[in-house]
A = this chain, B = another copy of it.
Amino acid sequence: MAEDSVVVSTDFPVKRQREVEEDNNNGVSASTVSSMELEGNKDRPDCISSVIPGWFSEISPMWPGEAHSLKVEKILFQGKSDYQNVMVFQSSTYGKVLVLDGVIQLTERDECAYQEMITHLPLCSIPNPKKVLVIGGGDGGVLREISRHSSVEQIEMCEIDKMVVNVSKQYFPDIAVGYEDPRVNLHIGDGVAFLKAAPAGTYDVIIVDSSDPIGPAQELFEKPFFELVSKALRPGGVVCTQAESIWLHMHIIEDIMANCRQIFKGSVNYAWTTVPTYPSGVIGFMLCSTEGPLVDFKHPVNPIDANDAYNKSKGPLKFYNSEIHTAAFCLPSFAKKVIESKPK
């Protein structure tokens, strides 16, 4: 196996501006998988390569010096959209895996931890949420989780990349099931432009389910974006955005925290959860509320009703519960020190 010839890819088409100075990987680019596993798309060798033959390895300047690898049974899809490289493969022990620009977005085995936490942390923190906006989240998992809430009347979703939506509908039906909810209106387009056009004070909850702040999601981590989010929320409305790992990206979290403390005049809190297939095994969320009725994120007021018909039809929650909601806001001392040092 190890004696198979291997091919190292050229760099990804999407230039990773922000972290380029950290790249000490000596030309090993993200997204590496054995050429022998390829089916079709042989004309697109520039987006894949082989480091561990037969395995997908996630090597990125965003987490230098470490790599997580999954054994590949079969590559099911590869494509290049207007925004990014899209790949789906069947792994040997984590189910099907969605990869964007060489970075694992979800696996069937652990997606519950991410989707349930990014959705229910905000939705369970306010009573009676009705209008919800999702930016990103093209796989549909967040929609599936929002659907559990019977109070919700309207779900707007703005995803930039139609290929992600289509690929999820084809390969991840248990995740894309979220699109079947009649309350969902899907808009394919830029989240920043969508928010600019949104009437002020519209939404109870906004969820920003983005990839990392390189490539198409970069703007979603910057101050002007948070200002638009704040304007689109009603008084006391809440936002939950993907906010990276305390083990790897404390400097990104510090930046987001500083911006949010300036913009949101209600609560600003960081929470985190475990996701084995994300770098460092954890991912965090920034939860903020606008000036208005007080939101105490740490003590949820709107528990999910196990007997509600909307919830029941989706099957039991695998990860989220009220205790883990509160626990998610407890931080290790090294992270607490940095986050609490930001002016309030």
Chain A positions within 8 Å of B, measured between CB atoms, are: 1-3, 6-8, 24-28, 49-52, 55, 57, 64-71, 91-94, 110, 112-113, 247-248, 274-282, 316-321, 323-324, 326-328, 330-334, 336
What residues of B have a CB within 8 angstroms of the CB of A3 in the complex?
6
Give CA–CA (A71, B65) in the complex, Å. Answer: 5
Q: A1-B28, A64-B93 are in contact. List 5 more A-B contacts (CB 8 A).
A: A1-B27, A64-B71, A67-B68, A274-B274, A327-B327
What residues of B have a CB within 8 angstroms of the CB of A282 in the complex?
274, 276, 281
Q: Is the CB of A66 within 8 A of B94?
A: yes
What residues of B have a CB within 8 angstroms of the CB of A334 in the complex?
112, 318-319
Copies in the complex: 2
Q: Is the CB of B93 within 8 A of A66?
A: yes
Give CA–CA (A323, B326) in the complex, Å. Answer: 10
Give CA–CA (A198, B278) in the complex, Å. Answer: 44
What residues of B have a CB within 8 angstroms of the CB of A113 in the complex?
332
Give CA–CA (A213, B92) in the complex, Å. Answer: 23
Question: What 5 pairs across the A-B complex have the smallest Cβ distances?
Answer: A281-B281, A65-B93, A327-B327, A327-B330, A65-B92
- Minimal beta-carbon separation of A344 from chain B (angstroms): 18
Residue on B nearest A67 in the bound complex, by CB: B69
Partner of A110, one of B71, B247, B318: B247
Give CA–CA (A193, B328) in the complex, Å. Answer: 41
Partner of A324, one of B67, B321, B332: B332
What residues of B have a CB within 8 angstroms of the CB of A71 in the complex?
25, 64-66
Residue on B nearest A50 in the bound complex, by CB: B2
Q: Is the CB of A57 within 8 A of B69?
A: yes
Knowing A66-B70, A69-B69, A282-B281, the reply to whether A331 touches B336 (Cβ < 8 A) is no
Q: Is the CB of B319 within 8 A of A323?
A: no
- Minimal beta-carbon separation of A31 from chain B (angstroms): 14
Give CA–CA (A68, B21) in the complex, Å. Answer: 24
Give CA–CA (A24, B92) in the complex, Å. Answer: 9
Partner of A319, one of B49, B57, B327, B332: B332
Residue on B nearest A320 in the bound complex, by CB: B333
Show 20 residue pairs from A and B whose CB-CB distance is below 8 angstroms, ordered by the A residue. A1-B28, A2-B8, A57-B69, A65-B93, A65-B94, A66-B70, A66-B94, A67-B69, A112-B334, A274-B274, A274-B281, A276-B282, A281-B281, A318-B332, A318-B333, A319-B333, A321-B333, A323-B331, A324-B330, A327-B330
What residues of B have a CB within 8 angstroms of the CB of A330 in the complex?
323-324, 326-327
- Minimal beta-carbon separation of A294 from chain B (angstroms): 21
Residue on B nearest A276 in the bound complex, by CB: B280
Give CA–CA (A327, B64) in the complex, Å. Answer: 30
What residues of B have a CB within 8 angstroms of the CB of A248 in the complex?
276
What residues of B have a CB within 8 angstroms of the CB of A27 in the complex?
1
Give CA–CA (A110, B80) in the complex, Å. Answer: 37
Residue on B nearest A51 in the bound complex, by CB: B52
What residues of B have a CB within 8 angstroms of the CB of A28 in the complex?
1-2
What residues of B have a CB within 8 angstroms of the CB of A69 in the complex?
57, 66-69
Residue on B nearest A109 in the bound complex, by CB: B247
What residues of B have a CB within 8 angstroms of the CB of A55 in the complex?
67
Give CA–CA (A333, B279) in the complex, Å. Answer: 23
